[in-house]
Amino acid sequence: MRIDIMTLFPDAIDAMMGQSIMGRAQDRGYIKIVAHQIRDYTTNKQMQVDDYPYGGGRGAVMQADPLYRCWEHICQEAGHRVHTVYMSPCGRVFDQQVAKELKANYDHLILVCGHYEGVDQRVLDEIVDEELSIGDYVLTGGELAAMVAIDCIARFIPGVLGSSESAETESFSDGLLEYPQYTRPAEFRGMKVPEVLLNGNHALIERWRRDRAIELTLSRRPELMERVELNKKDIAFIQSIKKDEKAR
């Protein structure tokens, strides 16, 4: 998969995306992430990318031309129009499902990062296929949002996570929040690791983890339970929790 990012801060993207799992995924050729400096596509001497908003008001608006020229360059290199996403708080809210969908539908994406008080609407109308928001808050620019989206999408590419892990089988994909994890030492400040995790009985461990995940999801994000596929043992466990609650 290839993702091109249009930004005023390509160094910030390269620095972050060169680390850890994303860095390794790029080195191994599972994903290619290319950050483009929008300023390189200006035609004025000052390399100015923004200007006053028509109609007045505070701040500066990113001009259409450098963005368009940058986008056109990426599409020309690709040899076709590339699915283009504008990172914006006005967009569809990004989640695990959207990440999976983008990975399944496109092997090349362009992410556009805005700054200042916004972007000239005409270039958005011309180049953008969809807008994505990473949540109901406003960031100073689209870069962090783009990196959140890339990180999450990349986890669905086979090979990016270790062979024993996968974004499909892990906890949030089954709709539940993650169960608690422990590592050595077996005792920390008087607190012991739950006994069940030490006895090597994998069926019991699986059940214990599933129960903790259900418990956590019920207490913190009960609305997520609607989409969870429950088996007989899950239902019995939930009933036992409800019984205990009533008894209290």
Provide the binding-site residues for ligand ADE, judged by CB under 6 A.
87-89, 133-135, 137-139, 142, 145
CB nearest ligand ADE: which residue? 145
Q: Which is nearer to ligand ADE, 38 or 218 (CB)?
A: 38
Tokens of 248: 């209290």
We find the least distance from the C-beta atom of residue 194 to ligand ADE, in angstroms, to be 38
Q: Which is nearer to ligand ADE, 66 or 142 (CB)?
A: 142
We find the least distance from the C-beta atom of residue 83 to ligand ADE, in angstroms, to be 17
CB atoms within 10 A of CB 146: 27
Return the closest-CA partner of residue 93 out of 136, 124, 125. Answer: 136
Return the closest-CA partner of residue 66 out of 130, 120, 145, 4. Answer: 120
Tokens of 6: 């249009």
Q: Which is nearer to ligand ADE, 89 or 175 (CB)?
A: 89
SS3 83: strand
**Where would I find the beta strands (DSSP E) of 94-196?**
108-113, 130-133, 187-188, 191-192
Residue whose pair of structure tokens reads 């180049």 in the numeric block: 127
Q: Which is nearer to ligand ADE, 125 or 187 (CB)?
A: 125
We find the least distance from the C-beta atom of residue 93 to ligand ADE, in angstroms, to be 9
Tokens of 46: 């000052």
Q: Which is nearer to ligand ADE, 111 or 176 (CB)?
A: 111
Beta bridge partners of 130: 85
Q: Which is nearer to ligand ADE, 33 or 145 (CB)?
A: 145
Return the closest-CA partner of residue 91 out of 149, 39, 155, 23. Answer: 149
We find the least distance from the C-beta atom of residue 132 to ligand ADE, in angstroms, to be 6
CA atoms of 178 and 159, how far apart (whole Å): 22
We find the least distance from the C-beta atom of residue 125 to ligand ADE, in angstroms, to be 18
We find the least distance from the C-beta atom of residue 150 to ligand ADE, in angstroms, to be 12
